[in-house]
Homo-oligomer: A and B are copies of this chain.
Amino acid sequence: MRVAESAVAPRGSGGRDGILDSAIRLFDQRGYHGTSMRDIAAGAEITVASIYHHFRSKQEILQSIMVRALRAALALTRTAVVRANGSPADQLRAVMRAWVVFHTTHRMDAVVAATELRSLEPPGRDLVIALRDEQEALFRDVVARGVEEGVFATGYPLDATRGIISMGQSICIWWRADGPMTAEQLAVRYETLALAVVEAA
C-alpha cells in the first residue's frame, strides 16, 4: 500500500506543498481566474517572490494541483483493483470504495480538477486529459471483465462506467467530514450502487 498511502498522507505546510494547498483552497472557493498569486502567497503565509522559487506561473500551479490529484486518484484506485484479487464484483467494489475515499479525503482537489480543466492550457491540459482517460479506462476494464464473464448484465458498459465515475465524483460537492456519515459508511453505499448500475448477478 506504499503508493496509496503516500498519496493520501497529510501534506506539509511549507514550501511547494504549502503553496499548492493554499491555491487549492482558493481555487475551490473563488475559481482559478478569481485567485491571484498575491492571494496564494497570503494563504501560504509566504511572499509572492517565494512562490516563484517553486512555480513559474499560476498556470503551473493549477497544472501541478490537477496532475497531483489525478495521479493520487489513479494510484488509489489501481492499487485497489490489483489487490482485490477476486471476482469482477470484488474488483468493482474495491475500485468504487477507493474512488469514494479519494473524493472524501481530497474533496477540494477533486472540485478543482472537475471545474478548472477549462482554465488549463496545453501541454498541461493534454497531460491532465491523458490521466483522466487512464482513470476512465481502469473503471471500464473492470466493468468490461464483468460483462465478458457474464456476471454484469448491463447492455451499456461504457455509459454504466461513466455513470459510476460521476456518481463518485459528485460526492465532493456535498460531503463534509463533520457531516452525519463517515467515508466508510458512504463507501459501503456506493459499492452497492455501482453493482446495481452494472446489473451484477
Contacts and interface: CB of A to CB of B under 8 A. Distances in A.
| Oligomer: number of copies | 2
Interface residues of A, number: 34
A49 to B, nearest CB: 24
Interface stretch (A73-81, A85-93, A185-193): A185-193
A5 interface: no
Given A154-B196, A170-B169, A190 B159 contact: yes
B29 A118 contact: yes
Interface string A157-201: 001101101110110001000000000001001101100111100
Contact of A162 (B29, B170, B196): B170
A34 interface: yes
A123 interface: no
A30 interface: yes
A140 to B, nearest CB: 14
A32 interface: yes
Contacts of A197: 163, 193, 196-197
A31 interface: yes
A5 to B, nearest CB: 27
Given A156-B192, A189-B159, A31 B119 contact: yes
A33 B30 CA distance: 8
B169 A34 contact: no
A31 B33 contact: yes
A38 to B, nearest CB: 15
Contacts of A12: none
A34 B166 CA distance: 26
Nearest to A156: B189
B170 A118 contact: no
A57 interface: no
7 contacts: A29-B118, A33-B34, A159-B186, A159-B190, A162-B167, A163-B193, A197-B197
